[in-house]
Structure 1
């Protein structure tokens, strides 16, 4: 596995950080989840549960180990610093300053391990006027200007069903930053601080929206962007049975094929028509699509390249032949999980172990750090470890 020689200490909770370290663990890194001695990661306690932990926790924390330490105590800090000496990466998602107040700042950890790569995932980054304010996915999307486009002229912005800023703006850039830092370390021999801001990375996502504004300073309106409701060729239409069909016929050849199947060939020259005509087109196409059920339309489009797809429910997605062929849902110990997505011919990712019980590996990991059984028992007795 490509990351088999790396050890990661994961102090994160909930979604962005655990998603980042899940990816690293799925491809071989030894990820040690450092949790407190009481609640641990809050996502353990969500519903629905699989055994004593939540389905979400099991999905995000498979292939990891768990050690439970009270980092607010001096002895707990000492134990953590012993782990840091043998680590390649530390990932945390506290607000700026929290690790400093614990006495475990980047500078402190680097003094123990100069090769260490330290990744901090935060809402707004380590600097700037928003650095210390709280936030969630919806707030980062709002500040970035992206949520503004999740609606149209008649409706307010809608909350996305998936956490765009948490995963696309936090977890994935953190993985990329960590891997880049590991590559750089091979050349320079030095570790570094990786500052990942979810707001920064959502702005970076807006490559199909922002460059046009920066060039012309013309503010587009919700519902007018090509890829978010501006064109009839890129839209969702309701079928006769109250299901939905997505159309992504952006290119002329796909648009022509689509129009021929729905018997609206007069629409072919109107692919790039002005906005007011696009709205008329949508109305005409909607009337046509409403004449047949989703299944009937999928039969019509089965042998046609038109970029048309059914809007699946989760049940339909898990039974879809493409999802099955790519083995996107796999089992660990009888429980279904989302499988590692990047297919590698020589070093693929694997679902190896289910998520750990809180503190499951504490004793083993401390023994590996050279801490005696007597000291481990003393730490347990003082509630410094669990």
Structure 2
């Protein structure tokens, strides 16, 4: 299937993770995404190990189904090419600090004058306004300023860096896709494009959800291991005898009862969630002792047929092989160069069918000549642009 977004044509100026993950989602759903890459300043993801057959696995995944044109935006000739492309590629994603695209002659106002239907999505750490608009940052900084890190971790050890980039992906990427598609709907209704301003810090702040709602409306500040869902109750991870872990989410009475019966400690179910914090800690201590009595494989077997919201903590390799995820087809084979490579599939299932992955990430500028010829440039003109280092 071509995918539900096959009518969208997107220029992607982003690098690293937030923008590329957003455009990956769009490309997987059928949009035509053309990456605009600098031949002078290569996206660091292309160099990120490990490499398989000379290609970074991260690059092959994040840039799946996308084309690549090499343009040195500091050259006026390259800026002119972007202005020419905007007539056809009327959605743009960029991830530079505020004002950089303006200095390069391809900011929103300049391109909007050429195509008023342009949807221009800017992903930054702190947004286009405010005192931090020009400040550098990374995922861990956005988590810190958004308040999320203040209650994510252990009381004795402090905040913990998450295993994946929450601000980059859940903050930047997913909100960028939502904002972009909302702007597309607005354009279909009104004919107008617009600038979509995505601040990863703003987006992560909104992800505080229940804790944020309680803090703002009732002035209840969450603390490390202080709430029901962050380690303040028995809802937690428990080590097994061989050093593996089990995840216990048995909040409801019927699930807690099943948990305690499977552990051979049915009397513990009487504690429940209505208990005091001290009783909760006593319950956690009892569960900790119980899980330490046997190895990981024993508890996996014991809970396999029990509906108690208890699951093993799997490695990524184990997760990819889990029967549930295999049945859902979360891993797919994608052509990367001359070989097929297993990659994480698009997780959104459409009744109309899924789009077939066409290829992994392409070489920098692999589509430059095809795109430029399609714009009417001659081979001689393209050669001159390459000689001037405007095109890669």
Give the TM-score band, short-chain normalised. over 0.9
Of 369, 372, 376, which aligns to 1:366? 372
Q: 1:135 aligns with which of 124, 134, 137?
A: 137
Are 2:351 and 1:351 aligned? no
Note the C-alpha offset of 1:103.
1.5
CA positional deviation for 1:383: 1.4
Q: Match for residue 155 of structure 1? A: 157
Provide closer, same or farther for how the CA distance between residues 347 and 111 of structure 1 changes in structure 2, counting only shifts above 3 A. Answer: farther
Contact 1:40 1:68 in 2 (8 A): no
CA shift for structure 1 position 339? 0.6
For 1:113, the equivalent position in structure 2 comes to 115
Deviations 1:366-385 (A, max 9, x none): 11122222211211121110
CA contact (8 A) 2:158 2:224 kept: no
The correspondence for 2:48, drawn from 46, 49, 58, is 46
2:315 counterpart of 1:313 = yes
- The secondary structure found in structure 2 opposite 1:100 is helix
8 Å CA contact 1:318, 1:324 repeated in 2: yes
Report 1:159-170 matches (<5 A): 159-170=161-172
- Partner deviation per Cα, 1:299-350 (whole Å, 9 max, x = no partner): 2222211001001012211211112111111111211111111011104233
Q: Distance in 2 between matches of 1:151 and 1:335?
A: 35
Confirm or deny that 1:103 pairs with 2:109. Answer: no
Give how far 1:84 is off.
1.2
1:340–1:350 Cα contact (<8 Å) kept: no
Q: Distance in 1 between matches of 2:303 and 2:216?
A: 39
**Equivalence for 2:386:** 380
1:177 aligned residue: 179
Paired position in structure 2 for 1:227:
229
Report how far residue 40 of structure 1 moved.
2.7
Q: If the length of structure 1 is used for normalisation, what is the TM-score?
A: 0.97
Give CA deviations for 1:191-227 in whole Å, capped at 9, x if unaligned: 0110001011101111121111112212222001111
Take 1:292 and 1:283, find their aligned partners in 2: how far apart are those partners? 16
| 1:250 alignment partner in structure 2 | 251
Give a deviation string over 1:111-148, Cα, whole Å, max 9, x none: 11111100000001101111110000000000011111
Deviation at 1:279, TM superposition (A): 0.8
Dislocated runs of 4+, deviation >4 Å: none
The total of aligned residue pairs comes to 385
Task: Indicate the RMSD between aligned Cα atoms, in angstroms.
Answer: 1.1
Query: For each residue in 1:71-127, what CA deviation from the matched residue of structure 2 results, as whole angstroms up to 9, or x when unmatched?
Result: 101111101111111112100000101011112110001011111100000001101
Contact residue 82 and residue 106 of structure 2 kept, 8 A: no
Aligned residue number for residue 262 of structure 2: 261
For structure 1, which segment, 9-18 or 258-267, has the greater mean C-alpha deviation from structure 2 after superposition? 258-267
Q: 1:26 aligns with which of 25, 28, 33?
A: 28
CA distance in 2, matches of 1:175, 1:350: 20
More displaced 10-residue stretch of structure 1: 163-172 or 238-247: 238-247
* Change over 3 Å in CA distance of 1:365–1:160 after alignment to 2: same
Mapped to 2, the partners of 1:79 and 1:305 lie a distance apart of 59
| 1:208 alignment partner in structure 2 | 210
What is the CA–CA distance in structure 2 between the aligned matches of 1:318 and 1:220, rounded to whole Å? 34
